[in-house]
Amino acid sequence: MMCHVSLIRPTCKDVIVGLGEYLDAELTPAKFAEIEAHLRACEPCRAYLATYRKTKELVARASLAKAPRWGE
């Protein structure tokens, strides 16, 4: 998978674009460290990450739920 995160001081946009790869551990150690450093310094991106994680969790749970059958 191609990484969209910049190698030089990622911006908030870079971090947001790369969150899926970050959470799925698909980044190189250097890129992972860059995002970690950005997240430590950027509260809005930490808040976005928390929302992103929760959304992924809810989608995963919803996909496991069984829909009721019609007529039951």
- pLDDT by residue (tens digit) across 37-63? 999 999 999 999 999 999 999 998 887
Residues of the chain above pLDDT 70, percent? 88
Residue 2 maps to a domain: no
Residue 71 maps to a domain: no
d(CA 42, CA 34): 12
d(CA 38, CA 11): 8
Winning range, highest mean pLDDT, from 7-11, 50-54, 63-67? 50-54
Residue 54 maps to a domain: yes
Please report, for residues 3, 29, 69, 72, the alpha-carbon distance to residue 26 in angstroms, rounded to integers and kept in the order given.
Answer: 8, 9, 38, 44
Q: Does the global pTM surpass 0.85?
A: no
Residue 6 maps to a domain: no
Instruction: State the total domains in the chain.
Output: 1
Domain that holds residue 42: 12-63
pLDDT value for 3? 52
